[in-house]
Amino acid sequence: MNSPFKLDRRTKIVATLGPASNDEQVLRTLVEAGVNVFRLNFSHGTHEDQRERFNLIRSMEAEFDRPIGILMDLQGPKLRIGTFAEGRITLKKGDSFNLYLEKRLGDQEGVSLPHKEIFDVLEVGHELLVDDGKIRLKVTQISPLVAVTTVVVGGVISDRKGVNVPDKQLPISALTEKDRADLEYGLELGVDWVALSFVQRPEDIIEARALVNGRAGVLAKLEKPSALDQLYRIIELADAVMVARGDLGVELPPERVPAIQKRIVETARSLGRPVIVATQMLESMINSPVPTRAEASDVATAIYDGADAVMLSAETAAGQYPVEAVEVMARIITETERDVRSNHALKVYPLEGEPTDADAIARAASDIASARRCVAIVTFSSTGSTTLRAARARGLVPILGLTPSHHVARKLTLVWGVYAVQTRDVVSLSDMVGKAARMVQRKGFALLGDRMVVTAGVPFGQPGSTNVIRLVEVTKEYDKPNL
């Protein structure tokens, strides 16, 4: 069965699975509502839970006859305080409070912070954020085993709350032992993307890429301010990035996050890396069937900036209205992309193209498609690189990404404006043009007489640069069955 695509939006939707969306019927409805990629959060649930979700997604893929991407999100290093004898205490502004390297039950005087990595970088004057910044502690004295702090912002503090160290790069890997075990399990399942949490430096990406070894795309979650110091290099090494605004908003003042979001999106686009904007996009829809107007504007801003995808977290994983959240997200995307200012905004900051023939051809394909009122750009690619180049231009027409690889087709579900199809490879230019013409008709892009632009890399079937561009009219001679 060759079902047509819904050609109503170019920005993709990533949805997180969880207790609210484990049911087969709910999952089916989420796909119908517009989800392109599902996120499996390995911070929660067992490996068997993730396998069941994975298998459900793959069954939906077969039912809907189109690729659906699967992104596994690794937990990353979680820095936490220890436990209290009474479970919790209340701190007041101005209180003295100790953090002990050694393990011990906490009380009103202090609590264990069993992370030598933190003690190695702490200095007098540093602030520590506990429980997503609800508690703020300022270091007044430091020794190898005890950090004496003064409470800047007080409140209730309880067992095993998370700790953030703003403005410091901690000497720890982004991959814990748990992450390594989860990673191998996810790769054996066949996930398409691996999201690496708490990336701080380029070496984190290099380490992950070595472990993944080409079996999935590596996505860098940018949620640590220290990563911003080497942002270009981190994005350059990654296959995709995520603006993870939750932790960014903990370690940075909230007024700085919007500009940083724009900087990350622009850098990712300039390097041709897919970029997701995530966290609290429709947060109120966890408990409400409608979003706030501010949330709708937030989603639209990411689209105006040119993000490849927007992501729902607790809204679909644990919320009361998972399907409604996706439907609202899809409507916001569609309405924003209809606005003429949307395309204008994508052209305000012209991207600096790589000085290659392949990028020049991709840009030319976009320009020709616009000038000749083509209905589609069709790309042939064994690795997805030709399709990524076409998407980077943010042209006016949709991109039909043809590839012989199921894996590449699923990875392309994350990419702006791309509708991916797994199909047999082509062997000649005439074969390429004929297959492109048949596919644009079967998938609902074109009718007889419509024009399209076709790009590919020759020789066919070998990874390489984009070096072919053709302007084609869809005629009856290409309408051959069973090809």
* Average pLDDT value for the chain: 91
Is residue 43 located within the same domain as residue 110?
A: no
**Residue 373 annotated in active site:** no
How many other C-beta atoms can be found within 10 angstroms of the C-beta atom of residue 151?
A: 18
The mean pLDDT of 285-306, rounded to a whole number, is 96
This prediction's pTM? 0.92
Mean pLDDT (whole number) for 364-374? 92
The CATH number covering residue 123 comes to 2.40.33.10
Q: Is the pLDDT of residue 464 over 80?
A: no
**58 counts as catalytic:** no
Q: Give me the CATH number covering residue 364.
A: 3.40.1380.20
Do residues 152 and 202 both lie within one domain?
no
Q: 183 with 329, same domain? A: yes
> Is the predicted pLDDT of residue 483 greater than 60, yes or no?
no
Q: Assess whether 188 and 326 both reside in one domain.
A: yes
Catalytic residue check, 39: yes
Residue 394: the pLDDT is: 87
Taking 70 as the threshold, does the pLDDT of residue 316 lie above it? yes
Is the confidence at residue 234, as pLDDT, over 80? yes
Give the residue among 397, 394, 398, 404 at the shortest CA–CA distance from 456.
404
- 284 pLDDT band, cuts 50/70/90, is very high
pLDDT digits (tens, 9 = 90+) for 167-181: 788 888 889 999 999
Q: How many domains does the chain contain in total?
A: 3
| Catalytic position from the list 10, 12, 221, 392 | 221
* Residue of 400, 390, 398, 397 whose CA lies nearest to 423: 400
Say which of 28, 80, 233, 363 is annotated catalytic.
80
Lowest mean pLDDT among 46-50, 256-260, 309-313, 393-397: 393-397
Domain co-membership, 54 together with 188: yes
DSSP 309: E
pLDDT at 158 over 80: yes
Cβ atoms of residues 458 and 393 within 8 Å: no
Domain extent for 43: 12-76+174-347
The residue that leads in pLDDT, 352 or 437, is 437
Tokens of 27: 């999952």
Residue from 11, 279, 403, 466 carrying the catalytic annotation? 279
| CATH number for 210 | 3.20.20.60
Q: pLDDT value at position 349?
A: 52
61 and 210 in a single domain? The answer is yes
Residues 442 and 310 in one domain: no
Q: DSSP string of 325-361?
A: HHHHHHHHHHHHHHSHHHHHHHHHS-----SSHHHHH
Terminal-to-terminal C-alpha distance of the chain: 13
Does 279 qualify as catalytic in the annotation? yes
As beta bridge partners, residue 278 has 244
The set of residues, in sequence order, having a beta carbon less than 8 Å from that of 477 and lying 6+ positions away, is none
pLDDT: which is higher, 350 or 24: 24
Lowest mean pLDDT among 291-300, 321-330, 446-455: 446-455
Same domain, 29 and 146: no
281 and 215 both lie in a single domain: yes
Q: Are strands 275-278 and 240-244 parallel, antiparallel or unpaired?
A: parallel
Which of 9, 10, 12, 39 does the annotation list as catalytic? 39
User: What's the pLDDT score for residue 460?
Assistant: 75
Closest CA to 161 of 88, 109, 104: 88
> Which tens digits make up the pLDDT trace of 269-282?
989 999 999 999 99
* Residue 197 and residue 303 in one domain: yes
Among 22, 14, 6, 40, which Cα is nearest to 281's?
14
- Residues 105, 146, single domain; the answer is yes
- Confirm whether 7 is domain-assigned: no
Confidence check: pLDDT of 353 > 70: no
- 458 and 441 Cβ atoms separated by less than 8 Å: no
Q: Is the per-residue pLDDT at 310 higher than 90? A: yes
Domain-embedded: residue 390? yes
Higher pLDDT, 474 or 346: 474
